[in-house]
A and B are shown apart, each in its own frame.
Chain A
Amino acid sequence: MQARKPSASHRPSQILDTLKRLGFGVAVAVPDSWLGEILVRIEREKSMQLVRATHEEEALAIACGARLGGVRTAMFVQNAGLLSMGSGMVTLAQRYQFPLLILVSYRGTPEDPVFYHVAKGRATEPVLRGLGVAFACADRSRPIGPQVETAATFAEEASSPFALLLSQEDVRW
């Protein structure tokens, strides 16, 4: 049976299509339930290599290494991972000025009131501000592709990581 092609308004497809169009060659990920399927789709792409890391700080370093080697690199992590990669973010990604696009499943917001995610949702944006990481929350009223492109462009033009915080409908395939 042939897989049905996602509609043009399917936001996870827009994310993947944008990464391919911008020449992203590597994606490094630590999955959660929202990210699981988009990572499978990335694995099927000939132009991209997916690395499944064991920890988000490790993923950050892999992404820095791939970018050091001249390949545009995106990360897919849950916001729990943003909280656990703080040291590497400060001492490696920011200190060495690596441009990295970090696509984040933003759990524990008022729209995702799962009891064990809420604490992470509460801490995410203050921690990003404290670390000095540029970030934006994706706007669900606008197409997601251009927002991913703007985030990727910011990372490169600023030579710094940029975190785009995504809702379930943005990233869950």
Chain B
Amino acid sequence: MVKDARPSRADYYHALAKALPADALVVTALGNASYLWAAIHHVPENFYIEDSMGLALPLALGLALAQPARPVLVVEGDGGTLMHMGALVTVGAVRPKNLTILLVANGVHAASGGQKLTNAGLDFAELARAAGIRRAKNLSTPNELAANLKSAHEGPQVLVLSTAPDIEVVRPPIAFDPVLAKQRFMSAIEAPRYIPTLFGGGRLEREGGTQRKP
């Protein structure tokens, strides 16, 4: 059997964990994109998506707009990107400087068992550029990933990671409770919380009672 010469998702993830910018927020797509990242680098500033194929990228776009001072990285697959390719166009129109898209290109739908993509031969960096994202590169080594993360504030950027498929599901070391993941994340970034009308609220306020400026 011929071994796939491409780096594994784990190779890239170890490089990502070492080179992750300070204050980075990381959104991961369904399947091993989330499970393996939780196994390698679980921190409250991770937001794991369990299903919702194709929606990690647009969710990260919204997060990048809401948190413009923090680098936002999203790990999305090639299959997920194809499912909502319009999101690349929206990113290209909005152009948030703090958004980095790590596009794991393994040529298959890994999370559902390794079925072939509709077109595995697409040049995703070229697609991203055509969508208005000027900084888009095809990478083939973890070292290149680490080097390109130094410019995570000069985005948006798309880094296409040529990756060997990982079909076997990784068991995450933490509970994947969606509401817990959301609350943990929002608490870690000190997001303002909603004060119920019963307590004279009806608004989002920061801890200590400071109302968020619109």
Contacts and interface: CB of A to CB of B under 8 A. Distances in A.
Contact of A55 (B27, B84, B212): B84
Nearest to A73: B62
A158 to B, nearest CB: 11
Given A66-B66, A70-B189, A22 B58 contact: no
B66 A51 contact: no
Contacts of B66: 25-26, 65-71
Interface string B163-197: 00000000000000011011001100101101011
Contact of B52 (A52, A59, A61, A99): A61
A58 B47 contact: no
Contacts of A28: 62
Contact of B62 (A23, A63, A149): A63
B60 interface: yes
Given A25-B214, A69-B191, A51 B94 contact: yes
Contacts of A20: 214
Contacts of B191: 68-70
A92 B49 contact: yes
Interface string A64-86: 11111111110000000000000
B203 A68 contact: no
Interface stretch (B85-93, B122-130, B133-141, B145-153): B85-93
Contacts of A91: 50-52
Contact of A96 (B89, B93, B178): B178
Contact of B59 (A49, A68, A97): A68
A92 B60 CA distance: 13
B191 to A, nearest CB: 3
Contacts of B50: 91, 95
Given A24-B214, A51-B65, A58 B90 contact: yes
Contacts of A99: 194
Interface residues on B, range: 35 or more
Contacts of B197: 153, 157
B173 to A, nearest CB: 21
Contact of A68 (B57, B186, B196): B186
Interface in A23-62: 23-26, 28, 47-49, 51-55, 57-62
Contacts of B63: 65-66, 68-69
A3 B19 CA distance: 52
Given A51-B94, A54-B89, A70-B192, A26 B186 contact: no
Given A70-B204, A95-B51, A61 B212 contact: no
Nearest to B74: A65
Contacts of B65: 26, 49, 51, 62, 65-66, 69, 71
29 contacts: A22-B202, A22-B203, A23-B212, A28-B62, A48-B214, A51-B94, A52-B90, A54-B87, A60-B55, A61-B52, A61-B56, A61-B58, A61-B84, A62-B65, A65-B60, A66-B63, A67-B62, A68-B47, A68-B63, A68-B182, A69-B64, A69-B191, A70-B192, A88-B52, A92-B55, A96-B178, A153-B202, A156-B202, A157-B196
Given A68-B47, A68-B66, A157-B197, 14 more contacts: A23-B204, A53-B86, A59-B58, A61-B56, A61-B87, A62-B61, A62-B90, A65-B65, A66-B63, A67-B66, A69-B64, A73-B62, A92-B59, A99-B194
